[in-house]
Amino acid sequence: MIVSASYRTDIPAYYSRWFERRYQAGFCLVPNPFDSGLRRVALHAPEVQGFVFWTRNSAPFMPVLQRLRADGLPCVVQYSLTAYPRALESHGAAPERATALCREVVDCCGAGSLVWRYDPLLVTSLTPPAWHLANFARLAGALSGIADEVVVSFTHFYRKTSSQLRAGGLANGFTFEDPALEAKRELLLQLADLARQEGLRLTVCAQRELLCAGLDDAACIDLARLERLAGKSLLLPRRPHRDRCGCFASVDIGVYDTCPTGCLYCYANRSRAAAEKRRREHRPDDLLLWRPARLTALSGPQLLALATGQEDPHRDQLLLFDDD
């Protein structure tokens, strides 16, 4: 099993103490975001064969990465660096600082352990295609020799994403668009050429309609990369997280609406206010990263009983409640 931590939130940046405690204990509990289920997820070998972390700021997490590598577990860090204007991402790290942190990750976890994410590609009046070409070239040059792959995809305009962008546009005076297919492909091919000049391979995440000669499919949970880091073969089935996804099987331990970074294009938050509220409610010593309302009154043994399917006197009542 590969543990993903997490495409639902930024665990390295905001929840490193929680992860460290759960790793010491050997497991965590994860509420299912789509129903009332609760899952126990192991965090130690032999159940766990490796980790994939997703972050914009690895600084608080470096001691954890060092511990994982000392324990012989391969770690891949999917590192988001877009350097968008503050109107779009209010808390992004300065590129120079982010680049230095990326180098620290590679020094700790080994060559090939870091994947740069220029993701999502958002076309706005602040960030037109020409802006992206110049911005991407600058970042690719800074990350040359640190990363070997850059993952990109265009923004998915989910209802909550569009709502946040509309509100942000009204407040900050910008407009946004979803370019036509050919315009997207043309921009991606230009970015791929810039990436190659810096020794980077550009891959496209979960948007196979954009693939053509020169554009490869991304696998964010990448079996070959994990095997190179582990120095051995790993047995993992290919199991996409969503349609048109090239990933192998993993278990994500994050919770939606818990990342307070405040990127307007984020699909994982309903709003920054909701994420900040859950961040305040977070308890580093808890079995879960964040507890839905239906679980707040339960003790650790009751939660474990629920997660492992044991009989529990609160079980029938518990499933009647919604998350909020």
Using one digit for the tens of pLDDT, what is the confidence trace for 131-175? 999 999 999 999 999 999 999 999 999 888 999 999 999 999 999
- How confident is the model over 54-104, as pLDDT tens digits? 999 999 999 999 999 999 999 999 999 999 999 999 877 889 999 999 999
Q: Which residues pair with 40 in a beta bridge?
A: 29
- Report whether 56 contacts 94 (CB < 8 A): no
Q: Rounded to whole angstroms, how far apart are CA atoms 168 and 103?
A: 33
Question: Read out DSSP for 289-305?
Answer: SS--GGGTT--HHHHHH
Angstrom distance (rounded) from CA 166 to CA 256: 21
Total length of the chain = 324
Long-range contacts of 204-207 (CB under 8 A, 24+ apart): 204/151, 204/152, 204/153, 205/119, 205/151, 205/152, 205/153, 205/245, 206/153, 206/241, 206/242, 206/243, 206/244, 206/245, 206/246, 207/153, 207/154, 207/244
The dihedral built from the CA positions of residue 13, 16, 19 and 23, taken in this order, carries a sign that is: positive
pLDDT at 322: 28
Q: Which of 270, 85, 84, 258 is nearest to 163 (CA)?
A: 270
Report whether pLDDT(320) > 60: no
- pLDDT class for 34, splitting at 50, 70, 90? confident
Lowest-pLDDT range, 114-123, 147-156, 207-216? 207-216
Model pTM score: 0.91
Distances 23 to 76, 226, 230, 243, 307 between C-alpha atoms, Å: 17, 19, 19, 31, 18
Q: Is the pLDDT of residue 7 over 50?
A: yes
Backbone angles phi, psi at 278, to 5 degrees: -70, -35
* pLDDT digits 0-9 by tens, 185-201: 999 999 999 999 999 99
pLDDT at 9: 96
- Given this model, what pLDDT does residue 127 score? 98
242: pLDDT confidence band, cut at 50, 70 and 90?
A: low
Average pLDDT of the chain, as a whole number:
90
- Spatial distance between the Cα atoms of 164 and 180, rounded to a whole number of angstroms: 22
Per-residue pLDDT tens over the stretch 274-306 = 899 999 999 999 999 999 888 888 998 889 888
Q: Which residues contact 279 (CB under 8 A, 6 or more apart)?
A: 14, 258, 260
Give phi and psi for 286, each to the nearest 5.
Answer: -85, 160
Residue 240 pLDDT: 64
Q: Judge residue 143's burial from the number of C-beta atoms within 10 Å of its C-beta, 0-12 exposed, 13-18 middle, 19 or more buried.
A: buried
Question: Would you state the pLDDT for residue 309?
Answer: 66
Planar angle of CA 139, 144, 148, nearest 5 degrees: 105
